[in-house]
Amino acid sequence: MARDPLGLVGTVLDGAYRVDELCDPQPPWVGYRAWHVAFEEQLALRALVLPADLDADAARRCLEGFRRAARLHVKLRAHPGIGMAVGFGVAELGADERVAYHAREWLDGAPLGEIYAVGARRHAEREAVAALRPAVAALAFAHERGVHHGALGPDALLVAAAPRGLVVVDFALGPALEAGGVGAPEARARYAAPEQLRPGELGPCGPATDVYALGVLLVELVTGRRLERPEREAVDEPDEPRTPRALGIDVSDAFEAVCARALARHPSERYASALELGAALDALGHEVGAVAARAGSSGRSTSLVFVGALALALGGLGVAIGLALGHQRAPVCPEPAPTAAGYSSPSTR
């Protein structure tokens, strides 16, 4: 039985978003299923719980970073490959409790990581490129508008039912962590760029940060291996080779070169944005196919509406996005099915 870290189930945020179910209890992104009271539409929630030792100033910066990123996310709704933002705000839960939340549309489908068994089954170069090319295009759209994701992983890429296809979700969460100098969350550490693992030591995060994560996904698809890495790396020590050939998988020279550049240690040595990475992938000559059909007709629903909750607990009790002072844990709630509301189970992370 999973425990609701923020106690949001059963509450209505700002009179608009009814929180119905805990779907993913895994910190730092706790996921919920929600209902828009006025629109009568199903949504979802994400709650970002920060380290207990985070100070008040860092928590404030996280909240500000979340607001900036949420506003920018709204500007991306014209692209069908990016989850459409519904709204965000700061809800008052009590006299000394506030929750910053961000709402997004509901989608039917399944995470790309589940459909392609990312890190568990090998795929040909052509299939790897076809799987990720729609995400690269969506991120190029965001990068051109000054928005980077900062928290990519296979569970942030949802393969929705046709004709929608692959959709990138979880915008606004990565930049919130970056603003507070928190670095990459453990749940997606293997997709984190070096500048996320050592904040401030390799320059700021940006589009090249997303390029690194896409490079990891490409390698995992063609090798069938999870690219585990230390939680934090020494900046003055070189990374272990992470390209397909370094991992014993024979790929073309061109594909190896694309992966090597995408995974360069310093952001300045990578493709500057997803637009450049997309051009490099297109130059490989692989046919780019749609991935929507891979979702099948299972009827499973996947969704991600973000709730970024900052909670600042006095006396070192824990900080979550939303400044929730003295927040108590909620009663034990039934644990949802592994893919309920589009959140992969913790065992697949």
Q: How far apart are CA 209 and CA 196, in angstroms?
A: 8
Beta carbons of 233 and 194 less than 8 angstroms apart: yes
- In 3D space, the residue among 85, 80, 78 whose CA is nearest the CA of residue 290 turns out to be 80
2-105+305-335 and 110-293: identical CATH topology: no
Beta carbons of 217 and 179 less than 8 angstroms apart: no
Q: How far is CA 7 from CA 3, 42, 137, 327, 334, in A?
A: 8, 19, 37, 9, 13
Contacts with 139 (C-beta within 8 Å, 6 or more apart), sequence order: 148, 149, 168, 207, 210, 214, 274
**To which residue do tokens 């991306």 refer?**
76
Please give the single-letter amino acid code of residue 209.
T
Dihedral sign for Cα 57, 59, 62, 63, please: negative
pLDDT at 141: 96
Q: What 3-state DSSP class applies to 92?
A: strand
pLDDT at 253: 96
User: Domain 2-105+305-335 adopts which CATH fold?
Assistant: Phosphorylase Kinase; domain 1 (3.30.200)
**To which residue do tokens 């069938």 refer?**
224
Each domain of the chain, given as residue ranges in start order, spans: 2-105+305-335, 110-293
pLDDT at 246: 93
Radius of gyration of the chain (CA): 19
Q: What share of the chain is helix, strand, coil (3-state, %, to 5)?
A: 35, 20, 45
Pick out the chain residues at pLDDT < 50. Answer: 231-232, 234-235, 287-349
pLDDT at 317: 29
Q: How far is CA 153 from CA 108, 150, 160, 349, in A?
A: 19, 10, 16, 9
- In 3D space, the residue among 20, 23, 320, 295 whose CA is nearest the CA of residue 160 turns out to be 295
Alpha-helical segments (H) within the chain: 56-74, 112-115, 125-144, 173-179, 194-197, 207-223, 253-262, 274-283
pLDDT at 94: 65
The half-sphere exposure of 262 on its side-chain side, counting CA atoms within 13 A, is: 31
pLDDT at 80: 93
Please identify, in words, the CATH class of the domain defined by 110-293: mainly alpha
Q: What is the DSSP letter of 279?
A: H
Q: How far is CA 258 from CA 27, 175, 221, 250, in A?
A: 33, 26, 14, 14
pLDDT at 328: 33
Q: How long, in residues, is the chain?
A: 349
Alpha-helical segments (H) within 224-329: 253-262, 274-283
Dihedral sign for Cα 276, 268, 80, 151, please: positive
pLDDT at 326: 33
pLDDT at 139: 97
